[in-house]
Amino acid sequence: MTAPRVLPASPIHPLDLGGRTALVTGAAGGIGRACVLRLAATGAKVRAVDRDAEGLEALAERARGLGGTVEPHVLDLTDLDAAEHAAAGTDVLVNNAGLQLVRPIEEFPPDVFHTVLTVMLEAPFRLIRGALPHMYGQGWGRIVNVSSVHGLRASAYKSAYVAAKHGLEGLSKTTALEGAPYGVTSNCVNPAYVRTPLVEQQIADQARAHGIPEERVLSEVLLQDSAVKRLIEPEEVAEAVAYLCGPQASFVTGTSLVLDGGWTAH
């Protein structure tokens, strides 16, 4: 019997994106902020996109203190033409911006549904569209879409968010298929509930929708389906994003990296 082939251990090199330009949306707080700081630490020049000018300036100052380069870019992603233009010339694109409203479908405001789909699905499409010509031209690019466990599973009272995340999954896979011949990968990162203002702000809405006190929302709603009973930290998500930008992930494309504490294992 032939002995199994033993491959030599590969050296572990720190992620180096020196000379690359990255763009991160929803950059002023939460997951976006953590991604900006993580990518800036790799040597990338990061375009930090958000509506929050003050938050972006504070982020850029923080990055400078750590030796990174962050360019604040104040932008409302409902301006789709501006979003596409902002992505031109980027090597790494992280579609992260999101918003949430918890309401039953029959009470969900149609204008909010439209805005959620615009920011969380149509804007990523336009950003990808703006980034691909440069990526294709150089034969390298990394697109990471911050999806959610709600891109794989539905929850009641989140029709717009769930619809947007499911759509983002499909967009990411299509981008992966089209980008593969050009050295461009496209993947989703799928966290469960992350310790961010977006999650904290929905606790009152969740309590109202489920008819329970706010203090019971964390254990009975947010963490009910997770085997690991805690919120994820933004830095954990940023580390997954960074991995997908590195050389070890060059064969990873069209997939979803799930960080859900066992939610989808049920």
How many angstroms separate the CA atoms of 79 and 63, rounded?
27
How many angstroms separate the CA atoms of 35 and 242, rounded?
8
How many angstroms separate the CA atoms of 19 and 138, rounded?
13
* Amino acid residing at 140: W
Mark whether 157 is an active-site residue: no
Catalytic pick from 136, 161, 182, 193? 161
Catalytic sites, residue numbers: 161
